[in-house]
Amino acid sequence: MRDKINDPARLELIKESISTIEEFSSGISTACEFTSNKILCHAVTYNLQCVGEGAYKLSRDFKNAHPNIDWPAIEGLRHVLVHDYYSVNFSRVWAIVQNDVPALKSYLQQITQE
């Protein structure tokens, strides 16, 4: 059973995790810099888990209303980060931080301003 946090509150939690990812990765410009910092890798990974958990707990109606976001991919990433943590490729995590996180942030800003 889902908890009682509603979709707008859940979106704010997702956006906070994205902001934290941005803050932690600020000043890092390469995958090599990122992957060589174990603490940073794990801190960012934790926040990506939070994004995925938040996405998982959004209502089906909300996700159906916003099909431009690949909700299953976000939830699937969380599943890998939590359950298959031993096989996480931090270079791939860096690519997600560089490419997918900004796109998700932009889209979430658009829909929360509507």
Question: Do residues 93 and 48 make contact, with C-beta atoms less than 8 angstroms apart?
Answer: yes
pLDDT in tens, 73-112: 999 999 999 999 889 999 999 999 999 999 999 999 999 8
Q: So what's the pLDDT on residue 4?
A: 65
Domain layout of the chain by residue ranges? 7-108
Q: So what's the pLDDT on residue 53?
A: 96
DSSP class of 17? H
pLDDT over threshold 90, residue 114: no
pLDDT in tens, 14-54: 999 999 999 999 999 999 999 999 999 999 999 999 999 99
Q: What gap in Å lies between CA 107 and CA 37, rounded to an integer?
A: 29
By C-alpha distance, which of 59, 54, 43, 39 is closest to 97?
Answer: 43
pLDDT over threshold 80, residue 1: no
Tokens matching residue 113: 């301003």
1 vs 42, higher pLDDT: 42
